[in-house]
Amino acid sequence: MKIERILTEREALWKRGRSRWCHAEGSDIHQIGVFASRDIPYDTRIIEYVGEILKNEVAEQRGIDLAEAVDGTDLASVFNFILDDEHQVDGNKDYNTARFINHSCDPNCWVEVEDGKIWIIALRDIAKGEELTFDYGFDIEFWKEHPCRCGSTQCVGYIVSQEQWPQLKKKIRKMLKRMDAEEERAKEEEKRKKKKKKKEKKRRKRDRKHKKKKSHKDD
């Protein structure tokens, strides 16, 4: 009976994790994405984000373990979705098509949590074949770890929640200013080395001439 119950629950998750509105395929943004299988009207509940419901501490440790496992690769490492104050959904499951939805700085979807379910909803009319995206809403604390590849004209370069873009832009300006300063210092150091090398070359040439003159005098 227990096995039958598990199989029934898994079958239900497979059904919930699929949708007539979309499908997964190769993406220009990152590896695999989710695309509209047909024209999707504004405000449509496209697909549910399903997975294993975990307590926050368990979910966070699982996320850390996954991040360590894929470190140095191009594989995704964030699949946990906040469900409520105490729980998260681990969406890193083969039955969860929505786990492949990529981030965009100009998304065409948004996320709604209602009655214990996480829904991906159309922000606007979406044409058949268009890739589905939403704002991952990552915190700015680890912004350097999540470069953005969405390619939209509004892309800010990193996956950070839109509410924190003003802070991000300040950090990026500060980083670029520091990089410019470091580049300028490197150029000055290179000039100094070249000048020193040139000076040393002249000194050696002068010393050789001096040695030749001394040799002639000795003769």
Query: Is the same domain home to 116 and 58?
Result: yes
Please tell me whether residues 205 and 98 are part of one structural domain.
Answer: no
Same domain? For 126 and 167 the reply is: no
> Quick one: 40 and 104 in the same domain?
yes
The predicted pLDDT at position 9 comes to 79
47/148 Cα distance (integer angstroms): 23
Specify the pLDDT at position 202. Answer: 74
pLDDT of 211: 62
Per-residue confidence (pLDDT) for residue 216, from 0 to 100: 56
| 166 and 134 in a common domain | no
CATH of the domain at 28: 2.170.270.10
- Same-domain status, 17 and 113: yes
Q: Which residues make Cβ contacts (< 8 Å) with residue 40, sequence separation at least 6?
A: 21, 22, 46, 122, 125, 126
91 and 20 in one domain? yes
The residues with which 110 forms a beta bridge, in sequence order, are: 121
In order along its 219 residues, the chain shows pLDDT tens digits of: 456 665 577 788 999 999 999 999 999 999 999 999 999 999 999 999 999 999 999 999 988 888 888 777 767 778 899 999 999 999 999 999 999 999 999 999 999 999 999 999 999 999 999 999 999 989 998 888 889 999 999 999 999 999 999 999 999 888 888 888 888 888 888 888 887 877 777 777 776 766 665 555 555
Report the C-alpha gap between 30 and 26 in whole angstroms.
8
Total number of domains in the chain: 2
Distance CA 119, CA 145 (A): 26
Specify whether 111 is located in the same domain as 10: yes
Is the residue at 165 inside a domain? yes
Domain boundary among 139, 174, 192: 139
Are residue 203 and residue 97 in the same domain, yes or no? no
Task: Residue 42: name the closest of 149, 115, 123 by CA.
Answer: 123
How high is the pLDDT of residue 108?
98
Residues 127 and 201 in one domain: no
Same domain, 127 and 182: no
Specify the pLDDT at position 95.
95
- Give me the domain span that covers residue 174: 161-219
The last residue of one of the domains, among 108, 139, 170, is: 139
149 within a domain of the structure (yes/no): no
70 with 128, same domain: the answer is: yes
